[in-house]
Every structure is written in structure tokens, then in C-alpha cells.
Amino acid sequence: MGWVRHGRTAWNAAGKIQGQTDIPLNEEGTAQAFRLAERLATDELRWEAVISSDLQRARETARIIAQRLGIPLLPADPRLRERSFGEIEGTTEEERLQRWGPDWRKTYGGQESDDEVTRRGMAFIDDMRKAEPQHRLLVVTHGSFLSRMLHSLCDNLDDSYIGNMSYSILELRDESWVSILHNCSMHLQD
């Protein structure tokens, strides 16, 4: 299963948390999606379908990739949405520090918990495995959701920031997920 974080948005550029607020790709994000699509078109590994969150930044990224690869774009799945951050959505780090203090990540209670994010992500994976057990599926989703899923599925992954348009690959071996590629963005380098 391949995992991709959507391309850059205006809110990413401004340092604002998006969460489930439906923000479109900006010009840079669209260009990033085309760059990953080109990389995937020349890779040895061939994806059979693309699925994404229903939020437009992920959906547009997935559309660009599916079109370039000539593979189906499956209906969007809301379980792949970004973590809900509640009132924090739309704020910058400075605004969060002013309003909720330096430990806002731990003390702010209005966001979706790790357990809730993991539960809906695992439900998606279980459903995909039942529907298409051998399907080589590329999933386009969001940073916090993606980080939570990758670390829930695989042990010993580095805890680096999941950048826009990062690309990861997990392979199921004997009912355990193994990281083949983690948080790669070489397609964005000039």
C-alpha cells in the first residue's frame, strides 16, 4: 500500500493547521502533485488504483496522479480525512501559543484523539483488504493522519515531520506491515 501526503496549500505556507477545513492546493501544491505523478510513471512499482480523503487538497492530488498513471480514481473515503483539530484549525503556531500556551499539543482537548484517528484508519485498511486483498492501492491523505497510521502500522519508523507530497510504501508480510519507503520527497528536489 502506498501512502502520499497531499500537495502544499496556502495554509501550509502560512503555517496554519488545516485539520478538516477544506482548503485547496495552491499553485506549488499542484506542481508538486505533477512531480510525484511523473516519478510514479517511471517507477518499476505499478499502482492499480488511487483513493483519497474527500477533502479537496487530497482529492485533487489523487486526481492528478490517477490521470497521469492512467489508473482508476476510486470514490473518496471520508475516513482518510485529516485529524479534526477543532478550534485550532486556521491558527498559526504564534496564535496557538498565545491562546493555549506552550503545551497546547497536550493540553488542548478539542481535537480528535490518536485512538480515534487510528480506529477510523484501521477500519479503512480492513475494508480495503477485504474488498481487494491483492490490490496495489495508492492512498492520498493528510500529514497528521498519515503520521498516525504509519506509526501505528510499523515499528521503528523515524518520527520526522511528514512533508507535503511525501511518499511512503508499506508491504504486508505475514500479517505485519513493513516499511519499504518512508517519507520520501526526492521527486521535489531539483
Q: Which residues are catalytic?
A: 6, 82
Integer Cα distance of 151 and 172 in angstroms: 14
Instruction: List the grid coordinates of 19.
Output: 485539520
H-type alpha helices, 1-88: 10-14, 27-42, 56-69
- DSSP symbols for 84-152: P-GGGTT--HHHHHHHH-TTHHHH--SS--HHHHHHHHHHHHHHHHHH-TT--EEEEE-HHHHHHHHHH
